[in-house]
Structure 1
């Protein structure tokens, strides 16, 4: 007789299906929010309403292009370089062995030349996946600990976490850039000058107000989009990775070493921080950063691993 699922437990196939749905939710939310922002600007300036439709179409095209190009953008931002088995034999061999055990296609392997130990995976599906580790991770972890971290990242690939996380990175980045552009254009660009000449400053003042509101709200919306990439994915990848490498204590020790290392990860930024196995922006502590943190507490992750 089959046993009933444990209440509150997460079935892996349910999680994969949820991640696939979340990808499209993020893209629709992105298009809707930015189209609404453009509509406010167009109406404030008295521009033709057709600009709103043009902007909406352009954002849809951008979202679809991001779906296919996001991983290349993330890899370019990180500054990592691709490596082969001949160049990094221990690293690539362990990825190959774990992929055989997990039934996954072999991802492309990359190294980020940074002394801080960390790692992430990216891509839109297991057939187009990439694993990135820092030089510090290769140098500072024992072989079994390195294998445990790689198992964690391969679990993100198997669970389709990478699709959601990578898409969120690119979409969030554009939201923040557009917010900054509107603010700068309002203060220094032609919009303010035209408004002040043609409307006695009233239209420009309204546009300034809208731009300031957008500049405040857009980063919060961006953080909310990243927060939609639930913390639960890290717990799930920890558990799946520990099962894949058959050594939860090795992953717990690896997380301890990564968290305790004092070296800052120079290549990380707020757009890509949620991709890493451990939050690389640990020095930026604030109420909002903690509120929207996409990583669960490292102490809790270690505790759960050691209870397995």
Structure 2
């Protein structure tokens, strides 16, 4: 069951990432067609912009994300002994380098991992998490985060964040360019198909941010299931992960966090245990009850 779940979620992740890159290409084609009459040229420009965003964000991901979430780094076990030693133990079990460790001053229990790769990873935990979790539960949470590090989820989420930012920039550019009269004059020979292509391009550009958000959320949900299973693999203690998730169900939303990094956290920092019928599509995380059920089935 454990390894089947890991394989299934990896396949889903590949599909989501392919969809992300196709979306960038389609937006580029739409913008190129509308404003320059060249879909291919638009695809090339969109690809270049996406690569620039990816290189910048990946290169500075840890500092950027930690600053966005008001996290401060600790440099020794004396500052937070329980957290430091648990992170150290879980990194050793996962066979990844010891990540940088951060604390977020927030009463809501939560945690996340970020970075470019295991050699440049960082984990953060809120003061609320450290207050309510016992040793086994804290190990489960950090095992979850070490699974994100070991499986390169931190890089995938960073790439998704960069692609979503690139898509937003392209859409904003298209809107501003259109507003200021930058659209090309329609060829009289375009005919009905030309009009249809123009309308389709406009609709694609308008709906692109929503599609990017849904893709980013789908990626996050798949990786959360995988990290839960990975935590069980590392700790050999499914009950620790189940107990930790049960406590997260009663958590209040975080007070200070960056919405764009919601998908990095172990549970939705804006909603936490609250679940609505449409969350399966628009949530960054699977319902906690569904995650607990999967662990119980193991």
CA distance in 2, matches of 1:28, 1:273: 21
Match of 2:264 among 272, 275, 282: 275
Q: Does the 8 Å contact 1:16/1:160 carry over to 2?
A: no
Using the size of structure 2 for normalisation, the TM-score is: 0.78
Deviates more, 1:220-229 or 1:273-282: 220-229
Match of 1:10 among 1, 4, 12: 4
Match of 2:281 among 287, 291, 304: 291
CA distance in 1, matches of 2:240, 2:275: 28
What residue is the counterpart of 1:83 in the other structure? 74
Q: Does the 8 Å contact 2:110/2:126 carry over to 1?
A: yes
Query: Compared with structure 1, are the counterparts of its residues 23 and 298 closer, same or farther at alpha carbon in structure 2 (3 Å cutoff)?
Result: closer
What residue is the counterpart of 2:188 in the other structure? none
Query: Compared with structure 1, are the counterparts of its residues 25 and 214 closer, same or farther at alpha carbon in structure 2 (3 Å cutoff)?
Result: closer
What residue is the counterpart of 1:61 in the other structure? 52
Query: Compared with structure 1, are the counterparts of its residues 115 and 236 closer, same or farther at alpha carbon in structure 2 (3 Å cutoff)?
Result: same
Match of 1:235 among 209, 225, 236: 225
Cα root mean square deviation, aligned: 3.8
Match of 1:39 among 24, 32, 37: 32
What residue is the counterpart of 1:114 in the other structure? 106
Displacement of 1:36 in angstroms is 2.0
1:128 aligns with 2:120: yes
Q: Does the 8 Å contact 1:110/1:130 carry over to 2?
A: yes
**Runs of 5+ unmatched residues, structure 2:** 186-195
Q: Does the 8 Å contact 2:20/2:212 carry over to 1?
A: no
* Count of matched residue pairs: 288
CA distance in 2, matches of 1:287, 1:238: 23
Q: Please give the per-residue CA displacement for 1:103-148, whole angstroms capped at 9, x wherever unaligned.
A: 2211111112222111111123211211111121112222322221
Displacement of 1:190 in angstroms is 6.2
Alignment of 1:214-229 (within 5 A): 214=204, 216-229=206-219
Q: Does the 8 Å contact 2:106/2:256 carry over to 1?
A: yes
Deviates more, 1:118-127 or 1:277-286: 277-286
Q: Does the 8 Å contact 1:111/1:134 carry over to 2?
A: yes
Question: Secondary structure of the equivalent of 2:53?
Answer: helix
Match of 1:93 among 78, 81, 85: 85
